[in-house]
């Protein structure tokens, strides 16, 4: 996932679940010379689903519901490959070719151990985040990190998966870091990579604590908001959305909440398209959402960029969203504020649903 910084209740729910149509994503991985690659790691980005290629280079993921998926293939000695797959009404078959990794030497500034310790501290803060969940994460193989510096820019990459233990949420995360950049001059962080989640083992008390913490991480999150957008239930789920009138802080908001339905367009039974031109301010407050007045005549609202408010605008002309709360193109949104500060330490796999 690349980051840019600067229930609906059905009476026949059980029947609908039984009638769910599933598909598969399968394929073959080979080298440029056509030789099958065995034991390559293949996973679905942001999920719990991972497998290995067999002796013929084949892999398969079954019971895949309609939606958008990013299939990632990684093998030591080869450049990793990511393919976006759109599942609508049929299974997908992929032919993936891996090329040998080209070693590119960056301009590296050699320093002492204290300099590396400072670089690691910056990386952890801006990669994992600063929330309580993030503070309880541990990267077990920090030695993989390779740093380079250019003026105010700190960059990092790895040759293999970073292993992250999230002790607050009960997940072990493998993160394939493509690049990380932190500009100390502007304070802007960006990183690009793919993740795979695995449930950690714990006793009953730990499992209960993880369920509570996962719920807290989910409610009010970007994933929660996008899922409620797909169902057109943002207000019922406790989200309030406002138009931002000005361009600087403090923010000036239109006093009347936005009805997001006007920006949603159904593509088919599996996808909706979101189109809007303005900047939106979004926050999660169930009590406030229940009593919000759409026809208020009050003055404009002034907001500082608070700990719970987020700014969303489209980076592209539109965003296509599926029921998982994922979107087809990673460039769809530009996010600031509360959601922008949520880093790897607060992420959940897309299979997650409250109660898991």
> Domain-by-domain residue ranges, the chain?
3-98, 113-201, 217-346
Options 2.30.110.10, 2.60.40.10, 2.60.40.1930, 3.40.50.300; CATH for 3-98 is 2.60.40.10
Nearest to 239 by CA among 225, 218, 252, 255: 225
pLDDT score at 299 = 72
CA 204 from centre of chain: 28
* pLDDT tens, the chain, 356 aa long: 555 444 333 333 333 344 568 999 999 999 999 999 999 999 999 999 999 999 999 999 999 999 999 999 999 899 999 999 999 889 999 999 999 987 655 455 555 677 999 999 999 999 999 899 999 999 999 999 999 999 999 999 998 999 999 999 999 999 999 999 999 999 888 898 999 999 999 999 999 999 999 999 999 999 999 999 999 999 999 999 999 999 888 899 998 899 999 999 999 889 999 999 999 999 999 999 988 876 665 677 887 776 679 999 999 999 999 999 998 887 888 888 899 889 999 999 999 999 78
Pairing of strands 162-166, 137-139: antiparallel
Within 10 angstroms of residue 78's Cβ, the number of other Cβ atoms is 18
pLDDT score at 241 = 95
Cβ proximity of 227 and 211 under 8 Å: no
pLDDT score at 6 = 44
CA 310 from centre of chain: 15
What's the sign of the alpha-carbon dihedral 185, 187, 191, 197? positive
pLDDT score at 291 = 87
Question: In the chain, helix, strand, coil percent, each to 5?
Answer: 20, 35, 45
**Rounded Cα–Cα distance for residues 166 and 217 (Å):** 12
Nearest to 316 by CA among 281, 262, 282, 274: 274
pLDDT score at 20 = 65
DSSP H stretches of helix in 129-192: 132-135
**Rounded Cα–Cα distance for residues 116 and 108 (Å):** 12
Query: Which residues 6+ apart lie within 8 Å of 89 measured at CB?
Result: 66
């Amino acid at each position: 996932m690349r980051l840019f910084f600067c229930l609906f209740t059905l009476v026949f729910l059980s029947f609908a679940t039984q009638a769910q149509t599933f598909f598969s994503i399968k394929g073959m991985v080979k080298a440029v010379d056509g030789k099958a690659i065995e034991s390559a790691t293949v996973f679905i980005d942001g999920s719990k689903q991972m497998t290995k290629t067999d002796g013929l280079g084949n892999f398969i993921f079954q019971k895949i519901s309609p939606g958008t998926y990013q299939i990632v293939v990684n093998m030591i000695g080869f450049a990793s490959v990511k393919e976006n797959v759109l599942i609508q009404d049929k299974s997908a078959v992929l032919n993936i070719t891996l090329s040998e990794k080209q070693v590119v030497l960056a301009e590296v500034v050699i320093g002492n151990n204290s300099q590396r310790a400072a670089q690691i501290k910056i990386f952890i803060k801006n990669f994992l985040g600063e929330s309580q969940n993030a503070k309880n994460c541990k990267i077990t193989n920090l030695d993989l990190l390779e740093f380079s510096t250019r003026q105010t820019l700190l960059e990092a990459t790895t040759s293999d998966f970073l292993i992250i233990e999230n002790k607050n949420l009960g997940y072990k995360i493998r993160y394939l870091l493509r690049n990380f950049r932190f500009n100390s001059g502007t304070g802007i962080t960006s990183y690009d990579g793919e993740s795979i989640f695995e449930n950690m083992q714990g006793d009953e008390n730990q499992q209960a604590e993880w369920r509570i913490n996962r719920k807290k991480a989910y409610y009010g999150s970007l994933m929660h908001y996008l899922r409620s957008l797909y169902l057109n239930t943002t207000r019922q789920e406790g989200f309030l959305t406002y138009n931002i009138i000005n361009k600087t802080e403090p923010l000036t908001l239109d006093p009347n909440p936005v009805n997001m339905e006007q920006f949603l367009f159904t593509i088919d039974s599996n996808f909706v398209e979101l189109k809007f031109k303005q900047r939106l301010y979004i926050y999660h407050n169930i009590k406030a959402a229940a009593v919000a007045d759409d026809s208020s005549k009050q003055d404009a609202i002034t907001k500082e960029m608070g700990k719970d408010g987020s700014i969303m605008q489209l980076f592209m002309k539109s965003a296509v969203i599926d029921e998982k709360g994922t979107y087809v193109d990673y460039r769809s949104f530009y996010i600031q504020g509360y959601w922008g500060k949520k880093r790897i330490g607060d992420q959940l796999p897309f299979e997650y649903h409250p109660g898991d």
